[in-house]
A and B are shown apart, each in its own frame.
Chain A
Amino acid sequence: MLDIIYKILAFFTSDATADRWFEQIYDNFIKDDRWTWLLNGLWVTLRLTFFAFIFGFLLGLIIAIIRVSHDKRVVMPRQSFLQRLGGIILGILNTICKIYLNIIQGTPTIVQIMIIYFVILASSTNKIGVAILGFTINSSAYVAEIIRGGINGVDQGQMEAGRSLGFGYIPTMIFIIIPQALKSALPALCNELVVLLKETSVASMVALQDLLAAAMLIRGRTANAFLPLIAAAIIYFVIVSILRAVSARLERRLNSGDR
């Protein structure tokens, strides 16, 4: 492996330059197995992104359903006690969701992460758990708006058709509305996943050993910023490219049923 790197470098440049570059590559990635730091950082980044997206998606879905249910609620002229109570509870939940969305979308991600890490859960030792919670909250706000848009985009007749068969409001949502809403929201959701992956680099600010933090650690040891940061950038870029390719395929697959 080392031989190959050296030969490639030597092929493109003079022997002296090749030596210098080789030395830097050796210092930054190979000495003390520093490349494993990047690998471990990548693993943290991927885990963080994965769990934050899954939880953020579920929380966002719930928020979206509450918001839509409240906005489209039909008030009966005669209501039973339970219906009245349901309306009041839905109203309260909707107000909470609105305030939540406003706060999360109205403050920078890094500030949210720092508040959760240094203020709310300052005593917690589970760094990655705290980071997952922070990014879950952040992501859920954006996912909620994406899914809400998707639900509102589903034709009103779909809900009526489901209800006319005898399905209740929630089963109609689950079997008929949500699948169609998610399909049309898929491109935006994939984009949110990509944004989230990149945004997790903010976690390095709260001493979580993610990919960027690993690169910075190497920089601290070697006093060379160029190679480790470029390496981190390339890794982010490759992962994002893979996600984009997968989402494009998925979209094509789902759309093929339309023709």
Chain B
Amino acid sequence: MTDNKTPLIRVENLTKQFSTTTALDNVSNNIYNGEVVVVIGPSGSGKSTFLRCLNLLEVPTDGRIYFEGTDITDPHNNINKHRQKMGMVFQHFNLFPHMTILRILTIGPMKLLKKSREEATKKALELLDRVGLADRAESYPNQLSGGQKQRVAIVRALCMEPDVMLFDEPTSALDPEMVGEVLDVMKMLALPVRSAQESYLWRRAR
């Protein structure tokens, strides 16, 4: 849909102030379709805040964020529609403990994308199989290990067929031996699109 010339996400003069600190100070950035962008920096430097601002989980104090050409900070635009196109994976997984894995994976596509149960289930099982968890569809999140939970969380985001995936420290809550399995899944996602790999060193953002 978007060509590689116009940025998928355009950040203009993004500022985020918390009551006592300024987490982001006038950050501008372009992220293009197919790019794999890594944001690194010391803790407290605003990496998470930046990422969470991109889908407005954190409300910016000032600045604009354009996603696929629309200003999502404009209160007249329906942010829920845009969030469907931005998958997010959290540090602490945030799976829904009262649902089976299959339900977690299909509730979004069924309720939001209006897919039929069969269609959503088929897609979910296919993706679960790709991350090696096809046999856990009927399990509950608390029956899975940390690495398995995070792989399910990635699949949950993928089931919405997003245009961009946001990973907020997806391996930092995992035991060391489980980091590999999650990174493998992320590599598998990044492989077909690694047109340009970039890293931004995130100094204290002010």
Contacts and interface: CB of A to CB of B under 8 A. Distances in A.
B59 A165 contact: no
Contacts of A179: 98
A257 B99 CA distance: 9
B80 A167 contact: yes
6 contacts: A78-B74, A165-B156, A166-B84, A168-B80, A180-B96, A180-B98
Interface stretch (A6-14, A59-67, A156-164, A216-224): A156-164
A interface secondary structure, majority: helix
Given A158-B94, A180-B97, A166 B112 contact: yes
A71 interface: no
Contacts of B82: 166
Nearest 8 CB-CB pairings of A with B: A166-B84, A161-B94, A157-B94, A164-B88, A80-B75, A166-B83, A165-B108, A179-B98
> Which of B57, B81, B156, B157 counts the most chain A CB atoms within 10 A?
B57
A215 to B, nearest CB: 43
A160 B59 CA distance: 13
B182 interface: no
B interface secondary structure, majority: loop
Contacts of A74: 59
Contacts of A166: 80-84, 108, 112, 160
A244 interface: no
A158 B97 CA distance: 9
Interface string B65-97: 000000001111000111110111010101111
A72 B132 CA distance: 38
Interface residues of A, number: 28
A83 B76 CA distance: 9
A258 interface: yes
A86 to B, nearest CB: 11
Contacts of B163: none
Contacts of B75: 76, 78-80, 83
A259 interface: yes
Contacts of B2: none
B111 interface: yes
Given A164-B157, A165-B84, 4 more contacts: A161-B88, A164-B90, A166-B83, A180-B97
A259 B98 contact: no
Contacts of A176: 96
